Amino acid sequence: MRKAFTALAVAAAVVASGGVADAKTFKWGFQTDTSSLDPHAHNVTFTLGFLGNVYEGLVRRDADLQFEPGLATKWENVEPTRWRFYLRQGVKFHNGNDFNADDVIFSYERTKNEDANLRGRVVGITDVVKVDDYTVDFITEKPNPIIYYEWDTWFMMDKEWSEANGATTPTNLSKGVESFAAHNSNGTGAFMIKERQTDVKTVLVPNPNWWDKPQHNLTEVIMTPIGQDATRVAALLSGEVDMVYPVPVQDIDRVNKNDGTSVLVGPELRTIFLYMDMFRDELLYSNVKGKNPFKDVRVRQAMYHAIDIEAIKKKIMRGLSDPSAIMISPKLFDKSEGFARLGYDRSKAKELLAEAGYPDGFETRMDCPNDRYVNDEQICQAIVSMLAKVGIKSTLVAEPKAKYFARIAPKGGSDYAFGLLGWTPGSFDSWNVLWNLLATPTPDMGRGLYNYSGYSNARVDELADLIGVETDKAKRDALIEEAFKISTEEVATIPLHQQALAWGKRDNIELKQRADNQFRFYYVNVK
Amino acid sequence: MAAFILRRLAQSILVMLVVSLVAFYMFQFLGDPINQMVGIDTPQAEREALRERLGLNDPMIIRFGKFVMNAAQLDFGLSYQHKQPVVDLLMERMPATIELSLVSAIIAFCLALPAGVYTGLYRHRWSSKALLTLSLIGISIPTFLIGILFIYLFAVILGWLPSFGRGDVLTLPGGWTTGLFTVSGLKAIILPATTLGLFTLTLIMRLIRAEMLEVLRTDYIKFARARGLTNRAVNFGHALKNTLVPVITVTGLLLGNLIAFAIITESVFQWPGMGRLFLQAIQEVDLPVMSAYLVMISFLFVVINLIVDILYYVVDPRLRVEGHGGGH
């Protein structure tokens, strides 16, 4: 009896230690914590990217950002204003509940709530109809060729679970009602949250019942927010974590030179660009009175020619930027190679300025954030000095993003002459850029929300409307090309570059870096 | 006595009100909280609606009134960023900050006492001068830099101590979390507590030294020596004892400072305390968190001052005369 017991204990110990030997814990640190576990509460890349490991949408994007089936196996446009989604059968939520059409309709209703920051995902949808348990129709007001483009981060929640726990709406800030879903999760995704200490650490374990075949070999994931750049890099160098991002540009060398660590760099989708006030009749902070030099296309071209983008790339971005010619990442628009930047040419710039009536240039002010984009303030400093060399003398005002964005917004009085911004189209589609950055602003700001140049061209507006409803890809691309051609020729904005992503990791970690800076653990392998 | 305490309490409440009003007013210049709360392509109308619902369009005086009424009931609303009650957030992080501050106070005091006494007694020795020079460095290097230097030396190069976080914590009954009873928790607190305590250490050491020098010059020390008491009895029994009275008062006040100024240390070491919460709140213009934190810290200082005042009142009979209106 006793022998049998000992044998059993030994066997158990062997199994247990075997388990330990195979355990692959992956530790990583990011700048901040995920702001909430509620998938509909906060429209922020990092939070949604993190939750993408726990929750899933109807569609999914692979490591190259191409669409692939998610909780829907296929979808089709049955009528111009009716999209049909066929749901994957046999999918279970983490608590064991089945996923079906009712959950999709519930998630749609929940996202429509005014406290759901993700309302944009379902805007323009008039109704969602259950065809059968595993087929759902989305009815739209107008034809919408890109209805599902942002649905990889529109996550499905369990109706029964949400109702049972009082989580049918996201947290209501004004009424002070907190949602259960902000601290608890029940997704269908590859990982389940095992432990959550806000701002300290979040522990995830693989979902054993995941419908997809895991490509990872992890048994546990520990996420820690590490706010300070230096501390985050130190944590990687000292081996306390296996991966961190972002790695500041100036630390990349250090991480690469260190034994056992390296930095994975790749272009991000965000386009950094300059906007110029061309709507006011008199330029602010300028010695030019009674008119606005930026209204003259030659002045805008002169600015463009004055900027030495290669110097910015080399000196400030340390090689980690891709100069861009249009307002969208080349990765996201097939016809992008037809566009080229205006060359760096100082004498040409001076010539253009003289032609426009400013042989001696003029003075104004440049506005810039200093904690938003990679080396944003340094880029602005460089641009100020480059412009000064052709006669445009501007004083630089660089300030934290919270102040900067408030001041340059229409509500803050559009307080700028020209400045720097970055934009990533949430849908990864050109229409978003045309609509938000290049179309004429409407008084209610439904359109042209970030068209701080105040650029206005009737044909571009018309094209934006057409592109919004054109479902034929070839025709649509041609329309997009035309819109970018017009706005580029008229220098509506000056695109600068796509900044690079920098993920630091230990050499025994294999992962896939997505250009949208979302991190999926189901591609991670620990060797 | 009761009248004095009541009067001081009334003053304290007034101070709290003024502090919150100033804080409240300053937040107007921090930027727009809405921008940090919504996605970049959220339409203007939706932003406006959110602003309206949060009451951000109300006149400042109304917002302040609401804030005070709620704060009096310990309700600081929901954090814009974390979407959780602010009180919960602060309570969750308070143990970490208090533990860090206490440990650094202990480290500071335990090192400052012998160092101060030593440099006071043997002020001409080269080792005393070396200690004083070192302490000067401790005062002049910014906390941030010291923290980073510690991290690179002890975490990256030597690999002895963790560079961030609090290690494993235990939850005591009542919800208080502590890292002082786990190995990783103890290891994790060394660097941040030393960093935070360095300035206080230097200050107390120099204070003790100055007081020692002062006391050693007094007549009763001379007489004690004349009576033939041992050096040990004179230095520790008489001199040090009398030195400690002001030192303890200052140390008490410094503890308040440690809690309030743990912000930078917490941020460098990713210490999950209230200071870091506050710093993040500033970056994200999380108004409810900022207001609550400031009110709490000023409350702490007001309470410490109140206690110190009452103690003085008890200790020093001269103060009491005025209280009786000179009725004798």
List the Cα angle A178/A172/B42 in 5-degree steps. Answer: 130
Written as six digits, the tokens of B113 are: 């006492």
More confident residue, A523 or B23: A523
User: Looking at the DSSP assignment, which residues form a beta bridge with residue A76?
Assistant: A84
**Per-residue pLDDT, A3:** 46
Interface of B with A in 55-84 (CB under 8 A): 55, 77-78, 80-84
Q: Which residues in B lie closer than 8 A to residue A424 (C-beta atoms)? A: 40
User: Which residues, 6 or more positions from A181, have their beta carbon under 8 angstroms from its beta carbon?
Assistant: A37, A38, A39, A41, A157, A162, A165, A167, A170
B window 244-303, beta carbon within 8 A of A? 267-270, 272, 276-277, 279-280, 283-285
Query: Distance (Å, rounded) from C-alpha A412 to C-alpha B88?
Result: 33
SS (H, E, C) A111-122: HHCCCCCCHHHH
The partner residue sitting opposite A240, judged by closest CB among B32, B163, B285, is B163
Q: Is B62 exposed, middle or buried (0-12, 13-18, 19+ CB in 10 A)?
A: exposed
Angle in degrees, 0-180, between the axes of helices B287-315 and B60-72, rounded to the nearest 10: 60
Residue A419 tokens, joined: 């400045």
Q: Do B272 and A199 touch (CB under 8 A)?
A: yes
Residue A428: partners with Cβ closer than 8 Å, 6 or more residues away: A65, A149, A269, A332, A516
Distance CA A329, CA A42 (A): 24
Cross-strand pairs, A261: A506
Percent of chain A past pLDDT 70, that is, above it, reads 95
Rounded to a whole number of angstroms, the distance from the CA of B63 to the nearest CA of chain A is 13
Greater model confidence, B325 or A510: A510
pLDDT on residue B140: 85
| Structure tokens that stand for A223 in this block | 């996420």
Selected residue of B29, B41, B286, B287 to mutate for chain A interface (largest A Cβ count, 10 A): B41
First to last CA, chain B: 17
Q: What is the DSSP letter of A369?
A: E
* CB-defined contacts A:B, below 8 A: 160
Mean pLDDT of chain A: 91
Is the per-residue pLDDT at B256 higher than 90?
Answer: no
Q: Which residues of B touch A240 (CB under 8 A)?
A: 155, 162-164
* Amino acid B317: pLDDT: 64
Most confident by average pLDDT, A302-316, B112-126, B296-310:
A302-316
A498 in Cβ contact with A324 (< 8 Å): yes
Q: Is the C-alpha dihedral spanning A331, A335, A338, A342 positive or negative?
A: negative
The distance of Cα A379 from the centroid of its chain, to the nearest Å, equals: 21
Residue of A nearest to B268 (CA): A228
Residue A80: how many other CB atoms lie within 10 Å: 13
C-alpha–C-alpha distance, residues B101 and B297, integer Å = 14
pLDDT the model gives residue A243: 96
Interface of B with A in 96-115 (CB under 8 A): none
CA-based nearest distance B72→chain A, Å: 17
Q: Is there a contact between A509 and A521 (Cβ–Cβ < 8 Å)?
A: no
pLDDT < 50 regions, chain A = 1-21
Query: For residue B49, what pLDDT band results from cuts at 50, 70 and 90?
Result: confident
Give me the residue label for tokens 């949400």. Answer: A162
Which of A329, A335, A271 shows the shortest CA–CA distance to A473?
A335
Q: Are A503 and A513 in contact (CB under 8 A)?
A: yes
CB count within 10 Å of CB B153 equals 13
The CA distance from A304 to A151, in Å, is: 36
Give the tens place of pLDDT for each residue, A376-395. Answer: 999 999 999 999 999 999 99
Residue A424 distance to chain B (closest CA, Å): 9
Pairing verdict, β A25-30 and A243-245: parallel
Residue where the block lists tokens 């305390």: B273
What six digits make up the tokens of B221?
């020390």
Cα–Cα distance for residue pair B180/B189, rounded to 1 Å:
8
Rounded Cα distance, B93 and A33, in Å? 15
| ipTM at complex level | 0.81
Bridge partners (DSSP) of residue A329 are none
Q: What is the pLDDT of residues B263-281, one digit of tens each?
A: 999 999 999 999 989 988 8
Cis ω before A39 (30° cut-off from 0): no
Question: Token digits for A446?
Answer: 């439904």
**CA dist., res. B191 & res. B159, Å (int):** 12
Least confident of A57-61, B30-34, B142-146: B30-34
How many CA atoms are closer than 13 Å to the CA of B103, on its beta-carbon side?
Answer: 22
**Å between A185 CA and nearest CA of chain B:** 15
DSSP A344: P
pLDDT digits (tens, 9 = 90+) for B209-237: 988 888 888 888 888 888 888 888 888 77
- Two structure tokens written together for B9: 């309490």
